[in-house]
Amino acid sequence: MKKIIWDESFSVGVPILDAQHIEIIRLINKLIEAKYLETNSETISETLTSMTNYAILHFKTEEDFMIENKYPDFVAHKKEHTLYRKKTLSFCLDTMVNKHTVPQEILTFLKDWWVHHILESDMKYKGLSNSAEN
């Protein structure tokens, strides 16, 4: 699987959110580059933990930004975040039962979800009135 290459097309115009998106992409690329991916591997465990914890921070920052800027699609956007959390929880449960397809499922999900979420969902708030202040 090819790494995600950050470029300006990923920028939502809010420096803190762009920085967090860059970190998320770095975490995904770390998984893409990993040589040893088995369900019970340390790499999978660390990635799930990192992505879960970092997503909590990112979603809070993003949701606070949207509330502050009266983003009209806030409820739908927050629902995407909730679905992400549920899916990552499901992966955690799958690793506990040693589901052998988890590594590839996680990799595909994270790459597809985050690229789509940044380039489509997050771009909808690009240019909000107070975005230059953040």
Can you give the residue ranges of every domain in the chain?
36-133
How far apart are alpha carbons 2 and 41 in whole angstroms?
21
**Tokens of residue 115, six digits:** 């690229």
Query: Quick check: 125 and 71 in contact, CB under 8 A?
Result: yes
pLDDT per residue rounded down to tens, the chain (134 residues): 899 999 999 999 999 999 999 999 998 998 888 776 766 667 777 777 888 889 999 999 999 999 999 999 999 999 999 999 999 889 888 888 888 888 888 889 999 999 999 999 999 999 885 544 44
- Return the CATH number of the domain spanning residue range 36-133: 1.20.120.50
Residue bearing tokens 């088995």:
38
Distance, CA of 128 to CA of 67 (rounded, Å): 11
Distance of CA 82 to the CA centre of its chain: 12
Q: What integer pLDDT is reported at residue 132 of this predicted model?
A: 44
| Backbone angle region of 38, left / alpha / beta, with phi > 0 → left and psi within -120 to 50 → alpha | beta
Q: How far apart are CA 129 and CA 132, in angstroms?
A: 8
